[in-house]
Amino acid sequence: MTDTRLEIIPLGGLGEFGMNCMVMRFGEDIIVIDAGIMFSEVGHFGVDSMTPDFTFLERHREQVRAVILTHSHEDHIGSLSFLLKKVNVPVYGTPYTLRIVEPRLEEHHLLPATALRVVQAGETVEVGAFSIEYIRVSHSTVDCCALAITTPIGTIVHTGDFKFDATPVCGNAIDVARLRTIGQRGVLALLSDSTNVERPGQMPSERVVIPALEEIFDRARRRIFVSCFASSIHRIQIMFDLAQQFGRQVVAVGRAMERNIEIAERTGFLDTADLLVNPKDFKHFDPSEIVVLASGCQGEPMGAMARIADRSHRQAWMEAGDTVVLSARQIPGNEKAISKLINRCYRNEVEVIDSTQARIHVSGHGAQEDLRLMLEAIRPKYFIPIHGEYRQLYRHKLFACQTLGYAPDRVLLIESGDVVLLDGETAQIGDKIAVNRVYIDDTCSLELDETLLRDRKRLAYEGVVIAGVAVEETTGALLGPPEITTRGYLGVDGEEEEIAELRDVALSAVEAMPPAERVNGGKEHFQEHLRLALKRHIMRLTGQKPTIVPLVVVV
Amino acid sequence: MTDTRLEIIPLGGLGEFGMNCMVMRFGEDIIVIDAGIMFSEVGHFGVDSMTPDFTFLERHREQVRAVILTHSHEDHIGSLSFLLKKVNVPVYGTPYTLRIVEPRLEEHHLLPATALRVVQAGETVEVGAFSIEYIRVSHSTVDCCALAITTPIGTIVHTGDFKFDATPVCGNAIDVARLRTIGQRGVLALLSDSTNVERPGQMPSERVVIPALEEIFDRARRRIFVSCFASSIHRIQIMFDLAQQFGRQVVAVGRAMERNIEIAERTGFLDTADLLVNPKDFKHFDPSEIVVLASGCQGEPMGAMARIADRSHRQAWMEAGDTVVLSARQIPGNEKAISKLINRCYRNEVEVIDSTQARIHVSGHGAQEDLRLMLEAIRPKYFIPIHGEYRQLYRHKLFACQTLGYAPDRVLLIESGDVVLLDGETAQIGDKIAVNRVYIDDTCSLELDETLLRDRKRLAYEGVVIAGVAVEETTGALLGPPEITTRGYLGVDGEEEEIAELRDVALSAVEAMPPAERVNGGKEHFQEHLRLALKRHIMRLTGQKPTIVPLVVVV
């Protein structure tokens, strides 16, 4: 390891959406950019979310200097607690970002032990060999930054998540001038968000949703329920502005919604104009006087919006003639939950408006024109597409090469675990490091390993058949008939016949092994013999492969 | 039960997408319109699909006269075998529809025993009190019909799935004149497809996709892989036409694709123009000379398209510079599988074009303008929206009332299990009949009940803890220490400590019950005692609720 080489190692977020985490090492100094979570596709199996594999950081714990946060979305901060439990280092971020982080660290009892270092957009911090400048970018939440990371061999720009919005609703616009200045000084590599590379044109400003929402407010005669992502502070500001314009008060329901509004107001990004009233007072308002901001826009069954639609929310309810506005995109995988929410709303005879019917949502990730602007402002020597599945990274590379004329060897198409080696002149892709997904059960904040998940998938698919056998300790003699029980196992006959049959199979299997071997061959040997006999029988008879658990009790 | 009342009872497809099945009874005569399947949302739990609950038909088996099929899509014919196994009656359908049905009945050994009665569009069949006229409609597959069902108290029109396509690629256009004539004679009730009620305008003709596909064919220099639904015969015809135009041969891969092409050609709906070559000959063709039609457009892991992209297909493969055309919509829930397919394709450095980038797909279900045309052609006394979740049925009702001026009491918003009673003058909604979903495991073509599914969900979520205990038959004395084993259970400590601890808990629980009670109280009583002790301990310690199986072996 020489001191003139920079390593860039994504631990997550490249080749997958979510759990963004990028490691940079120069000499003996490591910084970690973002530590995100990915929401689970396997919730059925008790997995709530996934975090990157931090093994590499644990192995080099003495080199890790800091975590640098670009912004406060879950896919950038959600695994921070899990990382800090393994490697506790200072955390840098903007004021709003760190305020969002705080209660999470508190939940994990990490707050007192963690150094949170506030950085304002425009400021630079020194961390080991790295000099890190925070540059304002526009996005769907507030206080987001790109990073210009200067190292002894050159500057790396990491965009975070961004779009070019010259007229954001809250806070300052993306600092294009600064990005251009940095680009003019020379940038070794640009790491740029690929999320919306498949969308042509430029992503409109957050303000684009105002006219359609204004029309909805204008038309509504009774309550308006708006559900959006609780982190969409620009959107929330628009709702307060419209509430003021149309003489309504605002009720915020749902923990995330209430908390984010409070933090955004405290950090100066949101102006609630004294319109916010306590959810308890919902019942006192005439339907024409109120807007309800509710979390749960993805139809989460326990979300505020679903509970309101379901008439199971303690404080708020809807009635015929009210209006429901779903001001968010449908995250793939959530369509059925959202449809269920809409069905529920219609059962209350309300009007439902979602983003397929009116321009009431806009993405915070830049489309092709934004991506072009970023590449042209920075004009890097090397370009590394980040944040996306292989399809987005590939298309981003293609876009840079075909549209902007980048030579293919100047665009590095890498995925999580790949190691990019830069020496200021050349770029190489080194040996991949092993990165697994780490599955998290939120009930107990514990990690599940792959074996456990595989066992659960198996149990789910065809259930479990359990065979209990008691044998005498010294002789191995069978004591009484085998005991069979099943859970989630289908079988082909009636339950009783099935169990009787399996008992016979188990009995024959036991009898087929000499009593001495049952005890002398070891319990595992005996159990495996029993398991295989049952497995073969069930497979032959029904084609099914339930989990079979033999349980030998030695008496 | 008088002879002057018609009952309309949806067993499936109203309040849900899929498993369409509509029962009509007049006097002692029952007909069943369609018997569809719904693809499983719970595949993890060994459920491949769901069928309607046919209990009502079993209970009135002596009244059931026939199944009347509108067309050959899975959501209209997929549960036919399951229905016929319970109530074997003649099946009516158009030539293409019955040809698609045949091999399925054969798989279930039902073909010899089932009377299949071919009906051409335009023909009328008499079944009990019903006179059923088949009327040609346009849709995404071929040989589709609406039904005009004349009963002693009036005519009911069931649209099946439809759109108004004046220029379908294959077969005749929707018979608007006939629909209008029937409407003019007076229709008691219209049952009309609600799938696309949320889409404004008129659904374009199947031909709308030709220009974009032509451009793709024109640009391609190497192989073209097209994946579409195997039932989309119009789309497949367009591919053959373009193949001919651009001098390519066609290879069809995937069982469904090969079978449907063969049936469509045999029934005269498809003209392959002698361009079809054997998949085995794929390797002999220059990349510029071939189009591959592959099933698996939803990214099904075992689908032909996924296997080709994955380089695991025996006969076909792709190489850099080839073009992949995904000429289908993304069915909600399949986005991730489709994204995986696209990722795989890009790893081969091919171009991928899907329906978000070019107009290469069009729906076969009418949009608002089509729905208006149908309602205005038929001008029914009563209108019943069918085929859709509550949101689509509700919107269809709203559309009829707000846009077309139907009185709300003339539009019956019903869901599966509801019973509509018509006497020619009035309409009432009677007592709901119980309709459950029936879960099917395709491995063994067996039905799973709700309890089994619930058990599997539980097992999947937090695994299983099994406690085996041997007790003496007469005294209830414990023989040896309890045996503990787990599958898919997380715990909080290391595995060995955890098991030792659970063994102690089981031991204490056994000891807490007097030996006599263990045998005299019944095995279930003893097992439940053991289960509760373990459950409480685990819950208190970890917050988890695994399935706990106590297994008492009596010696």
Nearest to A129 by CA among A25, A22, A11, A21: A25
Q: Which amino acid is at B191?
A: L
pLDDT at B2 over 60: no
Q: What is the CATH number of the domain that holds B407?
A: 3.60.15.10
Sign of the CA dihedral running A78, A83, A84, A85: positive
pLDDT tens, A501-523?
Answer: 999 999 999 999 999 899 888 88
What number of other Cβ atoms are within 10 A of residue A190's Cβ?
26
Nearest to B426 by CA among B29, B27, B128, B154: B154
CATH of the domain at A479: 3.10.20.580
End-to-end CA distance of chain A: 61
Give chain A positions within 8 Å (CB) of B553. Answer: 468-470, 479-480, 482-483, 553
Residue B543 has pLDDT above 90, yes or no: no
Percent above pLDDT 90 for chain B:
87
Helix (H), strand (E) at residue B507: helix B495-512
Q: What is the rounded radius of gyration, in angstroms, for the C-alpha atoms of chain A? A: 29
Q: A472: number of CA atoms within 13 Å, CB side?
A: 10
B25's CB contacts (< 8 A; 6+ apart) are B6, B7, B9, B60, B63
**Tokens (6 digits) for B416:** 């599966």
* Residue A211 scores a pLDDT above 80: yes
Residue with tokens 């030579």: A407
Same structural domain, B151 and B29:
yes
Crossing angle of the two packed helices B368-378 and B176-185, in degrees rounded to 10: 40
pLDDT tens string B438-495: 999 887 778 888 889 999 999 999 999 999 999 998 898 998 899 999 999 987 767 7
Q: Which of B320, B353, B386 is at the close of a domain?
A: B353
For B196-243, how does the pLDDT look when each residue is reduced to its tens digit (9 = 90+)? 999 999 999 999 999 999 999 999 999 999 999 999 999 999 999 999
Which residues in chain B touch residue A15, judged by CB atoms under 8 angstroms apart? 343
Expressed in percent and rounded to 5, the helix, strand and coil fractions of chain A are 35, 25, 40
The answer to whether residue A458 is domain-embedded is: no
User: Within a domain: residue A358?
Assistant: no
Residues in chain B within 8 Å Cβ distance of A458: 487-488
Structural domain contains residue A115: yes
- Domain C-terminal end among B353, B380, B406: B353
Distance between CA atoms of A250 and A293, rounded to whole angstroms? 7
**Is residue A106 less than 8 Å (CB to CB) from chain B?**
no
Specify binding-site residues of A.
361-365
CB of A487 less than 8 A from some CB of B: yes
CA distance to A55, A164, A280, B240, per residue, from B12 (Å):
51, 49, 42, 36
The whole-number pLDDT of residue A3 equals 65
Specify which residues B553 forms β-bridges with. B470
Which residues share a beta bridge with B146?
B135
Model confidence at B52: pLDDT above 90: yes
- Residues of chain A neighbouring B444 (CB-CB closer than 8 A): 490, 492, 542-544
Distance CA B476, CA B525 (A): 13
Determine whether the annotation assigns residue B361 to a binding site: yes
Q: Which residues pair with B30 in a beta bridge?
A: B25, B64
pLDDT tops 70 at residue A496: yes
Of A332, A444, A456, the CB nearest to B544: A444
d(CA B354, CA B226): 10
A68, part of any domain: yes
d(CA A533, CA A421): 54
Looking at the fold, whether A155 and A23 belong to one and the same domain comes out as: yes
Instruction: Tell me, yes or no, whether B189 and B242 share the same domain.
Output: no
Q: Which of A352, A470, A490 sits opposite B446 (nearest CB)?
A: A490
Last residue of a domain, one of B297, B326, B353: B353
Q: Which of B448, B483, B553 sits opposite A480 (nearest CB)?
A: B553
Question: What is the pLDDT confidence band of residue B1, given thresholds at 50, 70 and 90?
Answer: very low
Per DSSP bridges, beta strands A483-487 and A446-448 are unpaired
For B321, other C-beta atoms within 10 Å of its C-beta total 14
Q: Average pLDDT, whole number, for chain A? A: 95
Domain count, chain A: 3
Q: Is B365 annotated as a binding residue?
A: yes
For chain B, give the mean pLDDT.
95
* One domain for residues B181 and B273: no
pLDDT category at A451 given cuts 50, 70, 90 is confident
What are the distances in angstroms from CA A309 to CA A184, A239, A343?
A: 54, 20, 9
A226 and A174 share one domain: no
Looking at the fold, whether A260 and A378 belong to one and the same domain comes out as: no
A397, A455, A478, A495, best to mutate vs chain B, most B CBs in 10 Å: A455
Tell me how far apart the alpha carbons of residues A526 and B17 are, in angstroms, rounded to a whole number: 50
Query: From the centroid of its chain, how far is CA A343?
Result: 27
> In this structure, is residue A455 part of a structural domain?
no
**A–B: how many Cβ contacts below 8 A?**
193
Nearest chain A residue (CA) to B354: A198
User: How high is the pLDDT of residue B333?
Assistant: 84
Q: Which residue of B has its CA nearest to A339?
A: B391
Q: What is the CATH number of the domain that holds B331?
A: 3.40.50.10710
Query: Do the domain assignments include residue A485?
Result: yes
- Helix residue ranges, H only, A310-383: 335-347, 368-378
Higher-pLDDT residue of A496 and A269 is: A269
The label of the residue with tokens 């698609």 reads B100
**Angle B390-404/B368-378 helices, nearest 10 degrees?**
60
Residue A234 lies in a domain: yes
Annotated binding residues of A for substrate, written as ranges, equal 361-365
HSE-up (13 A, CA, CB side) for residue B130? 31
pLDDT tens readout for residues A322-332: 999 999 999 98
Q: Please tell me whether residues A144 and A232 are part of one structural domain.
A: no
Rg of chain B over CA atoms, in angstroms? 29
A19-53 pLDDT tens trace: 999 999 999 999 999 999 998 877 889 898 999 99
Q: Indicate the burial class of A56 (C-beta count within 10 angstroms; 0-12, 13-18, 19 or more).
A: buried
**Which residue of chain A comes nearest to B391, CA vs CA?**
A343
In angstroms, the Cα distances linking B163 to A376, B98, B230, B365 are 48, 22, 19, 5
Residue A540 burial (CB count, 10 A): 8
What are the distances in angstroms from CA A132 to CA A35, A128, A174, A184?
17, 10, 17, 17
Listed as own residue / partner, the contacts of A483-487 with beta carbons closer than 8 Å and 24 or more positions apart are: A483/B551, A483/B552, A483/B553, A483/B554, A485/B549, A485/B551, A486/A546, A487/A463, A487/B455, A487/B458, A487/B459, A487/B464, A487/B547, A487/B549
Do residues B170 and B114 both lie within one domain?
Answer: yes
Pair B218, B341 in one domain: yes
In single-letter form, the type of residue at position B552 comes to V
Q: Which residue of A has its CA nearest to B452?
A: A488
Distance of CA A12 to the CA centre of its chain: 11
CA–CA separation, B366 vs A297, rounded Å? 29
Q: pLDDT digits over B343-393, tens only? A: 999 999 999 999 999 999 999 999 999 999 999 999 999 999 999 999 999
The confidence score (pLDDT) of residue B498 equals: 87
pLDDT digits (tens, 9 = 90+) for B243-286: 999 999 999 999 999 999 999 999 999 999 999 999 999 999 99
| φ/ψ bin of A343: left (φ > 0), alpha (ψ from -120 to 50), beta (otherwise) | alpha
Q: Which domain holds residue B401?
A: 6-201+363-447
Is the confidence at residue A2, as pLDDT, over 60?
no
Whether A1 is in a domain gets the answer no
B443 contacts on A by Cβ (under 8 Å): 542-544
| Residues A244, A368 within the same domain | no
Lowest mean pLDDT among A371-385, B81-95, B518-532: B518-532
pLDDT at B67: 98
Is the CB of A543 less than 8 angstroms away from the CB of B444? yes
Residues B305 and B413 in one domain: no
Q: State how far the Cα of B33 lies from the Cα of B69, in Å rounded to an integer.
A: 6
pLDDT band at B3 (very low <50, low <70, confident <90, very high): low
A495, closest residue in chain B (CA to CA)? B452
Do B455 and A485 lie within an 8 Å CB cutoff?
no
SS3 of A538, please?
helix
Is A1 a residue whose pLDDT tops 60?
Answer: no
Three-state helix/strand/coil letters over A203-240 = CCCHHHHHHHHHHHHHHCCCCEEEECCCCCHHHHHHHH
Whether B23 and B170 share a structural domain: yes
